[in-house]
Structure 1
Amino acid sequence: MFGNDVAREARAHALAAWPEEACGVVSGGRYIRVENIAADPDNGFEMPAETWLKFKPEAVIHSHNAKVHPHWPSKADMESQIAARVPFGIVSCDGEVTTPILWWGDHCLDVPLTGRSFVPGVFDCYGLVRSWYWQERGIRLPDFARSKSWWEEGENLLADLFEEAGFRAVDASEAQPGDVFFMRLVSKVPCHSGILLADGLCLHHLDGRLSRREPIGPWLRRVTHCVRYIG
């Protein structure tokens, strides 16, 4: 996203800091190492407050210990990115090798709607809904921090947060293209969402599959709610 020099320096920092999480910022097109002052640097990162005034970051990059944490943002990572409003990146490291940087943030809204690989919190079902509304209607829906399996942790994010995002429930018989559907998939609460399209099609993104357009018919028995954006 910022070029090979930034990626190379961030990955070298991750390797040098392992098993602790490295953190740094992109400023002036360069990667700058920043001290991780987190109380538990093996499992999180925190940068000194003056980092933002001193460097005016264009992006933030931190590392994950690949032996402990997955290569996608945690809920806390997402909360930090949403608050900072700049792209964030993750480098995973096992002490010997590092991964390419996984970037996320609102620039992901412009990624093509179909053919996306699933990445929790980045390219997931709600990420696709946000992208569709941005690309097709010019509406920037708010992002919400979420863990990979929030529905197994007593949360009901779809029901709780879509209203905050500007949606209201509609009867399934009145659903129209552009409305959002919720599904239950072996879960107590709806855990999946997608967009209704014309001609009996839908757009959605399931874990383990590429995002795609396909007939909604086979999924109708799993649909629990339909909601419409009203702003």
Structure 2
Amino acid sequence: MTHTVYRCLSSIPHNHLTTPLKPQPRINLYVDEGLTERFQDVLKAADQPLYADCEGYSQLSAVTEFMNIKAEYSLPETCMNRVLQSVGGMLPRDHTLPDSYYHMKQLMSKLGLPCVEIDACPEGCMLFWKEDEALEFCKFCGGDRYKPVRQGKKKPRHRSALSKLYYLPIAPRLQRMYASTATAKHMTWHVEHETNEGMMAHPSDCEAWRHFDRCRPQFAMEPRNVRLGLCSDGFAPFGRFGKNYSCWPVMLTPYNPHNS
């Protein structure tokens, strides 16, 4: 249905076509094996002790601890560099603690997952993406795509959009759930758990789940297939102090694992 709607929207003539100023990202670029390889590198850091015969901390757990301290107390980068150098000098020579905040960020960045920013119409009419990425005005309401440039100022190379949609690619996040045995074993829990008659402790205990299995037997035969629930809800990110701002996240929830 989504593809049908998109084809209908794309058939509308582009009356405001201009030279593209900022190419929008292609989402399929974020589905690659590099994400898995980088995640495996971080798992190696989780198995690497902070120093020989250290049982309390691994390289990753130590870095995570320092990152939490920096965030909790809002420590500047120069302070973290000084702390890391001092602690490193107290540890055995074979320690694996990074000597700077920059190197800690390099290690932790491998845990990250991609986020795609797509320019959007401020009124919510459309996305400036794919065939529409070259437009400067909304083809429905005619609204501006970019923030206005002040008079007398030089037009920047990359202009800032008035509104953006932040898309979190699904595929690498599903891959991450199967990348570790700690989480992968929970993805088949919906088949392996015991169901108590008359009690629904999980969506797999209800008749709607069983009805889906009967309608899609090939999908249901593979317990590792991921079942997702789509939901959306609006909220004011700044509470009562920002009445003019609201967010409408659209979330996909995996139903395979148990509730906890």
TM bracket, shorter-chain basis? under 0.3
How high is the TM-score relative to the length of structure 1?
0.23
Using CA pairs below 8 Å that are at least 6 residues apart, which structure has the higher relative contact order? Answer: 2
- Compare the two structures and name the one with the higher helix fraction: 2
Larger Rg: 2
